Amino acid sequence: GDWLPGPARLFAALKATPPEQVRAVILGQDPYPTPGHANGLAFSVAPEVALPRSLRNIFTELRDDLGAAPATGDLSHWAQQGVLLLNTSLSVDPGAAGAHARWGWDRLARQAVTEAQKHGPLAFILWGGHAQKALAGLPRPQDLVIATAHPSPLSARRGFFGSRPFSRVNDWLAAQGRPPIDWTA
pTM over 0.95: no
To the query of whether residue 30 is one of the catalytic residues in this protein, the response is: yes
Which CATH number covers residue 161? 3.40.470.10
The pLDDT score that the predictor gives to residue 97 is 58
User: For residue range 136-184, what is the model confidence (pLDDT) as tens digits?
Assistant: 999 999 999 999 999 999 999 999 999 999 999 999 999 999 999 999 9
Query: Taking each helix axis from N to C terminus, what angle separates 53-66 and 165-175, rounded to the nearest 10 degrees?
Result: 50
The whole-angstrom separation of Cα 104 and Cα 179 is: 35
Q: Which of 30, 64, 93, 106 is catalytic?
A: 30
Domain membership of residue 183 (yes or no) is no
Q: Are 86 and 27 in contact (CB under 8 A)?
A: yes
- For 17-66, the pLDDT digits (tens) are 999 999 999 998 866 556 666 678 999 999 999 999 999 999 999 999 99
- Tell me the residue range of the domain where 96 lies: 7-175
Query: Residue 2: inside a domain, yes or no?
Result: no
Is residue 68 a part of any domain in this protein? Answer: yes
Q: What is the mean pLDDT of residues 81-100?
A: 72
Q: Domain total for the chain?
A: 1
Contacts of 68 (CB under 8 A, 6+ apart): 62, 184
